[in-house]
Amino acid sequence: MSKAIPETAPAVIIGGGIIGMSTLYHLAHRGVPAVLIERRKIASGTTWHAAGIVGQLRDSTAQTELGKYTARLFRDLEEETGQSTGYKQNGTINISLSDVRHEQLLRTHDHAARMGIPSHILSPQEVKEHWPALVIDDVQSGLFVPSNGQVNPLDVTIALSKGARQKGAQVFEGTKVERLEIRDGKVVGVVTDKGIIATDQVLIAGGMWSHLFGKSHGITVPLHAAEHFYVVTEPVAGLPSTQPILNIVEERNYWKEDAGKILIGGFEAQGKAWAKDGIPEDFEFDELPFDMEHVEEDLMRMFARMPSLEGLGIKTFFNGPESFTPDGRPYMGPVPDVKGAFLATGMNSNGILNSGGTGLTLAEWMIDGRPSRSMAPLLAARAHPFQANTRYNQDRAAESVGFHYGINWAGRQVHSARGVRRVPLHQQLKTAGAVMAERIGWEVPMYYDAENPEWSDSPSLRWKPWSEQVKQECLAARDAAVLLDQSMYAKILVQGPDAARALNHVCGA
């Protein structure tokens, strides 16, 4: 007979993917025996089919901290729980095919040193020593991070579950959370299809289900599912299990050894949103049809990079859904308007490498009231009410797939879901030659150039195509006068007897 769900719990976690399970594990290790509710089987959403690459260096210190801790946790998890995790530190090699990307690798090498993660710059020849069949004519350099690696995500989730249950946590599979009980702006319980659990803390870790679940409670969780593809070759004779993972962001693909075969995955510039009419109720360990036409160009690039692939043959064509967010970053931490509700979701295909750090950080947030490291770029509180719009998330998620690879630079602009928020003078600004960029849904004039009204998409880490116009604006501000339209900024009304004292406290000068 299956165990009855408890009437009360110190905290309830919704979702038994790697993120929910890691949080359960870390709460239990801090002495909080929380309860995890999973609608089907653990890891049966997105987690089971992940490629399992664990890279640590991300584009913010906050996410790098998450990855760094995850790598440390995975090293010890198997020994602690007795459950194998398939973890190996075979390292990653990122290669550059252009000057911009080469400069980025040098900067990442520097970032790695600051974060205490050893890394080495490789010559094209050294790259070829690791991947002998690779065409390297146009390779400029490589960045090798020996402590990165790969893991079996399903086994890790089982290990985390085991480690959590050994410390008193409980896991209920085949149980669906139907809604939260919220009273006077506070969580007081969770209603499941097997009964109600009274609790004052809830973590929504429901992966791609989180958007609609949050929305039904007035909680904004901006994300939508998009398709993610990979292929796996037939067994490759002589392929060492220590083969480092290869990332070629300019060609939008990653390569890894996978039980004697090569797994190659891609992040197309424009992905495909999935389940626009909702996720099927019976979704469990499911995969999606492989769309050959959609990824053909990406596959051709892989074959050109390693012509011997032709002779190897492809054994598996895989497509699975993952949630992507409008800015490519996860949502973590307390929900501003509902006391006791937390988010850890929207992993943008980084959920395995984020998992350990996310679980640790959420456990700190839920127990101590704050995390021990800054998570500013990842805060759940950055969600704006307009981002509860499902169509907006669907349109952007398809483009967010492309944020993952390609060259990330300060002038990179989004092209989807534009024009969501416009200032009253929008048309006048356009007529005056304003070139617009998107900032949290707003169309913001960045500079004026009536002759070239289109934003330049060509990446540059130094002087930008618009730097000259910006220089002229700065000189005008110094020597003459400028008029800035900042009507898109938030307005805060501070009123009451202590208003002046409070403002003097928070405002410099």
Ligand X SMILES: Cc1cc2nc3c(=O)[nH]c(=O)nc-3n(C[C@H](O)[C@H](O)[C@H](O)COP(=O)(O)OP(=O)(O)OC[C@H]3O[C@@H](n4cnc5c(N)ncnc54)[C@H](O)[C@@H]3O)c2cc1C
Where do contacts with ligand X occur on this chain (CB under 6 A)?
14-20, 37-40, 44-47, 49-53, 176-177, 205-209, 213, 228, 230, 265, 320, 322, 345, 347, 349-353
- In the block, tokens 């790969």 appear at 150
In terms of C-beta distances under 8 Å and separation of at least 24 residues, what long-range contacts does 248-251 make, across chains too?
A: 248/94, 248/95, 248/97, 248/305, 249/94, 249/101, 249/405, 249/406, 249/407, 250/96, 250/97, 250/98, 250/101, 250/406, 250/407, 251/97, 251/298, 251/301, 251/302, 251/305
**First vs last C-alpha separation in the chain:** 67
Q: Shortest distance, CB of residue 57 to ligand X, whole angstroms? A: 13
- In the block, tokens 């497509």 appear at 319
Q: Shortest distance, CB of residue 119 to ligand X, whole angstroms? A: 19
8 A C-beta contact, residue 26 and residue 238: no
Residues in the chain, total: 509
Nearer to ligand X, 44 or 96 (CB): 44
Q: Shortest distance, CB of residue 233 to ligand X, whole angstroms? A: 16
Nearer to ligand X, 112 or 347 (CB): 347
- What is d(CA 390, CA 401) in angstroms, rounded to the nearest whole number? 17
Q: Shortest distance, CB of residue 251 to ligand X, whole angstroms? A: 17
User: Around 54, how many Cα atoms within 13 Å sit in the side-chain half-sphere?
Assistant: 32
How is residue 43 written in tokens? 């890891």
Q: Shortest distance, CB of residue 355 to ligand X, whole angstroms? A: 7
Nearer to ligand X, 119 or 350 (CB): 350
Q: Shortest distance, CB of residue 139 to ligand X, whole angstroms? A: 23
Ranges of beta strands (E only) in 335-378 are 341-345
429-to-71, 432, 435 alpha-carbon distances in Å: 49, 5, 9
- What is d(CA 7, CA 19) in angstroms, rounded to the nearest whole number? 24
Q: Shortest distance, CB of residue 135 to ligand X, whole angstroms? A: 24
Q: Shortest distance, CB of residue 52 to ligand X, whole angstroms? A: 5
| CB-count burial class (<10 Å; 0-12, 13-18, 19+) for 54 | buried
